[in-house]
Amino acid sequence: MNKNILLTITILIFIIIPKYSYGADSELIYLDVKVSPNYSKSDYITLSSDEGFNLYNEDDLQRVFLYIPEDIIYIGSDYNGDIIIFDEKNDEIITLPDDGSVVIGSGHSNESIIKVDKNKYRDYIKFLSIGNYINVINHIELEHYLYGVVPKEMGPSFHLEALKAQSIIARSYALANINSHISEGYNFCDTTHCQAYGAYDNENLITNQAVDETYGQYITYNGNIISANYHSNSGGITEDSGNAWSLSLPYLSSVEDVFSNNAPNSSWSFTLSVSDIQSKLAASGIEVGQINNIEILETTEANRVLSLKIDGSKGESTLTGSQLRSLLGSMNLKSTWFTVNKEGGYQNSKAYVISGKSLFPMEIDLSNIYIKDSGKDIIVNRSNVNRARSMDRTVPLEATYSSAPTTFVFNGRGYGHGVGMSQYGASEMANQGYNYEDIITHYYQGVDILNVGR
Ligand SMILES: [Zn+2]
């Protein structure tokens, strides 16, 4: 290891991370991850450990200040709202500070695993008091956090090289976004808002191996650890971050991605009724009446919809592709790379005529009827004829037959925002023999992989 590089990354980490703490090994980085579910102060939280519990001050994990020789303890509140540890006889053991500055580990000397109700967590647990709620925080070393992230974000069925790329990406993303929830007193939540984190019970031998074999590796651009965004499937071309989030980053620019072409969700179709679209729009305060048309106005060079117009009987509304995706559900409209077609209502090629002998209209294809004018046959279309005439009656077509569509069909490609690594593309690259460095440098332009590991 080049000492200058180590010094640089150490300084870098200090600059980037205002809030983290070190454990016994000064190279370890600890994170605070808020885990689900949310508890109110009237709940009891059960902690279990085979070896009793060690209590530490968060900034001194080398010194146990209290050992509790119990297999099970309970966390609850008293009438003052303080957070208290009780034993099985419901006797108070100690009152905890409500800022999470005391952390609880198991009494096991090598590996601390604590069960909180039904879920097991590595390292330490602490509690933050917020109003009437108690946030359960897993105070966990970065590499252990990745053990819980990689299987949730990619899954053990992927190729080891793809999992190694995912590990480095998740490690880089974590450090670059370390302040995501700092105003709430912790670093990350355990959902895809940050990165999905499944803790100890979701760990897997091969995903842990991928984390271990890439220990200390980060993606950098011009010496800075990057926010390595990723998504499920690009559909064939990734998107510029500037188009997805209006922050254009050189290493998150669009790249051709044939590796995603035949993977799951490379193409998809989603059909929704007009009434369902109307109610989803109305839920967000968008009222356009009966929807007649959805028109794509502008797309990016990577085919994603930038803006579209919804025409209705009471007005029109212009939305971004992302807004429509979030209104209709991001698991329905899987990406903003889509076209839209309307179905139902009558087609422009059809006319309805009433003969005078019958009240029932007959449907005739416009291409088969003509207007006779001074010996010429004029082709009938909607711009020169909008009424059907007969000997004894005149019926406006629109009065009887609505032209409004009944459904809209969205045909699209890819799954997710399309920025950075396509996970299914990475899988295909690995299956074709590319390694994790090839995968990372394909999806992130102009980056280096920095190794500050063992
Ligand atoms: Zn979050």
Q: Ligand 1 centre and the CA of 124: distance in Å?
A: 20
Position 395 scores a pLDDT of: 46
pLDDT at residue 393 greater than cutoff 90: no
Position 18 scores a pLDDT of: 37
Ion ligand 1: residues, CB within 5 A, are 189, 193-194
Position 323 scores a pLDDT of: 95
Q: Ligand 1 centre and the CA of 242: distance in Å?
A: 22
Question: Residue 101: left (phi > 0), alpha (psi -120 to 50), or beta?
Answer: alpha
Position 398 scores a pLDDT of: 44
Q: Ligand 1 centre and the CA of 33: distance in Å?
A: 9
CA 283 from chain centre, in angstroms, equals: 22
Position 22 scores a pLDDT of: 38
Q: How far apart, in whole angstroms, are the C-alpha atoms of residue 6 and residue 450?
A: 10
Q: Ligand 1 centre and the CA of 454: distance in Å?
A: 30
Q: Ligand 1 centre and the CA of 192: distance in Å?
A: 7
Band the pLDDT of 326: cuts 50, 70, 90. Answer: very high
Q: Ligand 1 centre and the CA of 194: distance in Å?
A: 4
Mean residue pLDDT across the chain? 87
Q: Ligand 1 centre and the CA of 246: distance in Å?
A: 20
Query: Which of these, 56, 69, 66, lies nearest to 30 by C-alpha position?
Result: 56
| pLDDT, average across residues 280-304 | 93
Helix (H) or strand (E) holding 174: helix 160-176
Q: Which two tokens stand for residue 289?
A: 């009446």
In this prediction the pTM is 0.80
Q: Which two tokens stand for residue 50?
A: 């085979």
Eight-state DSSP code of residue 117: T
Q: Ligand 1 centre and the CA of 53: distance in Å?
A: 29
Contact criterion met (CB below 8 Å) for 267 and 413:
yes
pLDDT at residue 278 greater than cutoff 70: yes
Q: Ligand 1 centre and the CA of 125: distance in Å?
A: 18
Q: Ligand 1 centre and the CA of 134: distance in Å?
A: 17
Q: How far apart, in whole angstroms, are the C-alpha atoms of residue 173 and residue 167?
A: 10
Position 10 scores a pLDDT of: 52
Q: How far apart, in whole angstroms, are the C-alpha atoms of residue 243 and residue 419?
A: 9
DSSP E strands: which ranges in 169-250? 188-189, 217-221, 224-225, 230-231
Q: Ligand 1 centre and the CA of 189: distance in Å?
A: 4
Task: Give per-residue pLDDT as tens, 175-186.
Answer: 999 999 999 999
Percent above pLDDT 90 for the chain: 71
Position 372 scores a pLDDT of: 72
| pLDDT, average across residues 349-354 | 60
Q: What does the DSSP assignment read for 265-313?
A: TSEEEEEEEHHHHHHHHHHTT---SSEEEEEEEEE-TTS-EEEEEEEET
Band the pLDDT of 42: cuts 50, 70, 90. Answer: confident
Q: Ligand 1 centre and the CA of 366: distance in Å?
A: 57
Q: Ligand 1 centre and the CA of 186: distance in Å?
A: 10
Q: Ligand 1 centre and the CA of 255: distance in Å?
A: 28
Q: Ligand 1 centre and the CA of 188: distance in Å?
A: 5
**Residues 6+ away with beta carbon under 8 Å from 347:** none
Lowest-pLDDT range of 195-204, 339-348, 442-451:
339-348
Band the pLDDT of 23: cuts 50, 70, 90. Answer: very low
Task: Give per-residue pLDDT as tens, 44-94.
Answer: 999 999 999 999 999 999 999 999 999 999 999 877 778 999 999 999 999
SS3 207: helix
Position 358 scores a pLDDT of: 66
Q: Ligand 1 centre and the CA of 57: distance in Å?
A: 25
Q: Ligand 1 centre and the CA of 141: distance in Å?
A: 18
Pairing between strand 133-141 and 370-373?
A: unpaired
Give the position of tokens 């990475």: 426
pLDDT at residue 336 greater than cutoff 50: yes
Position 75 scores a pLDDT of: 95
Band the pLDDT of 310: cuts 50, 70, 90. Answer: very high
Q: Ligand 1 centre and the CA of 193: distance in Å?
A: 4
Q: Ligand 1 centre and the CA of 196: distance in Å?
A: 9
Task: Give per-residue pLDDT as tens, 140-189.
Answer: 999 999 999 999 999 999 999 999 999 999 999 999 999 999 999 999 99
Bridge-partner residues for 378, per DSSP?
371
User: What angle in degrees, to the nearest 10, is found between the helix axes of 160-176 and 436-443?
Assistant: 50
Q: Ligand 1 centre and the CA of 352: distance in Å?
A: 57
Residue 409 sits at φ, ψ, to 5 deg, of: -115, 120
pLDDT at residue 348 greater than cutoff 80: no
**What torsion, rounded to 10 degrees, do the Cα atoms 413, 417, 418, 423 define?**
-90
